[in-house]
Amino acid sequence: MQYNWSRYLRLIFAGLAATTLIGWIFGQPLYGLLVGLTTYLWWTLVQARRLYQWLANPSSSDELPQSVGLWGDIFDHLHKLHRNHLLTQDRLRARINRVQESTNAMRDGVVMTDARGTMEWWNGSAEYLLGFKPNKDRGQYIHNLIRTPAFKAYFDARDYREPLEIHSPAKPHIHLQIQISLFGDDDRLLVAKDVTRLYQLEQMRRDFIGNVSHEMRTPLTVISGYLETLVDHGNELPPKWRRAINTMAAQSSRMEALITDLILLSKIETGEHTLDDALTDVEALVGQICHDARALSGDKKHQITLKVTDQRLLKGDESQLRSAFSNLIFNAVKYTPANGSIAVTWSANRDGAHLSIEDSGIGIDPVHIPRLTERFYRADPSRHKDTGGTGLGLAIVKHVLINHDGNLEIKSRMGEGSEFICHFPRGRLVERLPETADN
């Protein structure tokens, strides 16, 4: 390039020298120089105009104008750059097409939106599963197309660790699992998976357990009733029958408790009957449960204390909360040896409201803690045979807390005691009205 530049200068000077020489021959060297300069200026302007025209609309023709000398080289370099640019563009377009083809082939719906939810791109499955229209919906807000309030809350909350399950806005019989990821400049990538089959199976399982429990309840009540009558008239029975009847009565009341818990769990699990707008006076509720717990403790003489540091009410279903809290407090009584202590605390801070139940009982090996809320999971079955529990208590607690947007934390050390904490979001706390406070 450097070499060419001095060559161009030499050429220009040679040309000007030639026109000056011709002018000198005719006795007018200055005119000669002037004609040379004007010719060069004119030629330069013509080339600049051709370049300008091509730059104004480069796509109209792939070919750049041809020229010689300095302008010829400029055109050649631009031509090379333009060709490389077109090649890169083609390569990128092919790559984008390939990505779009592969995402279109996916069975899951994929949608790209900006931070505010403006729809930018989606695949064919999203059109089928979510009912988006190919051209009409581009640029629309996703909230206008998926109107479920739970979806808006999920989208705006920016906490996408857990997926969201909703019915499809276009085909209500389809159940979708929505997972959002953040990318780029706070943009969102939404993946919608059809989980209808799983949802139906789960529903069938719940219905089956609920129905079987209901069907078993009536015959069991009859059997228990007769057994109780037999126990009441134990003195009239031959001694060898007495023990058998007592064992049968104990086992049938255990089965009754189990069936009651199964029915309760299947109701709570669906979450459909949760009275979400009701207000619960946790202080009064936990007070009653502690009172019952003292009666349950009886001769074991546990020290049961209740501390309340927040007077606000909790938005939630009282009967479900009663089941959850009583399961935890009665467990503390069951798994704490005589004269042990149980401290119940209801408090609130910036993170939300918390009910803690701390006991000085037998404790739980940490390896069991992650699985403790599974149905019928027992930390050490041999040690808990005599507690008479159903094994469903903590599963009930977990589902009640899910219905109330809360979660259960378990801390425990073998032989030192355990602490079960129910966490609720701050938004569920409601100030008492003056007349409520007076009562």
Site for ligand ADP, residues 375 to 434, rule: CB under 6 A:
378-379, 384, 387, 389-394, 418
Q: Interacting stretch for ligand ADP, rule CB under 6 A, among 105-113, 195-203, 269-277, 372-380? A: 372-380
| Element spanning 3, H or E | helix 2-25
CB of 406 to ligand ADP, least distance (A): 17
Indicate the residue among 399 and 404 with the shorter CB distance to ligand ADP: 399
SS percent in the chain: helix, strand, coil, step 5: 55, 20, 25
CA angle 253, 216, 242 (to 5 degrees): 35
- Verify binding: residue 323, ligand ADP, rule CB under 6 A: no
Report which of 85, 230, 292, 223 is spatially closest to residue 77, judged by C-alpha positions. Answer: 85
Indicate the residue among 298 and 337 with the shorter CB distance to ligand ADP: 337
Q: Which of 327, 356, 360, 403 binds ligand ADP (CB under 6 A)?
A: 327
Q: Interacting stretch for ligand ADP, rule CB under 6 A, among 74-82, 107-115, 185-193, 324-332? A: 324-332
What the block records as the tokens of 86 is 């077109």
CB of 251 to ligand ADP, least distance (A): 15
- The residue type of 304 is I
- Verify binding: residue 23, ligand ADP, rule CB under 6 A: no
CB of 300 to ligand ADP, least distance (A): 14
> Phi first, then psi: what are they for 64, rounded to 5°?
-80, 155
Indicate the residue whose CB is closest to ligand ADP.
389
Indicate the residue among 174 and 332 with the shorter CB distance to ligand ADP: 332
Size of the site for ligand ADP (CB under 6 A): 20
Separation CA 88–CA 76 (nearest Å) = 18
3-state secondary structure labels for all residues of 83-150: HHHHHHHHHHHHHHHHHHHHHHHCCCEEEEECCCCEEEEECHHHHHHHCCCCCCCCCCEHHHHCCCHH
Indicate the residue among 263 and 372 with the shorter CB distance to ligand ADP: 372
Q: Which of 54, 335, 346, 424 binds ligand ADP (CB under 6 A)?
A: 335
Half-sphere exposure of 257 (CA within 13 A, CB side): 14
CB of 362 to ligand ADP, least distance (A): 5
Q: How far is CA 147 from CA 79, 153, 159, 352, 374, in A?
A: 53, 11, 19, 28, 34
Contact positions toward ligand ADP, by CB under 6 A?
Answer: 327, 331-332, 335, 359, 361-362, 364, 372, 378-379, 384, 387, 389-394, 418
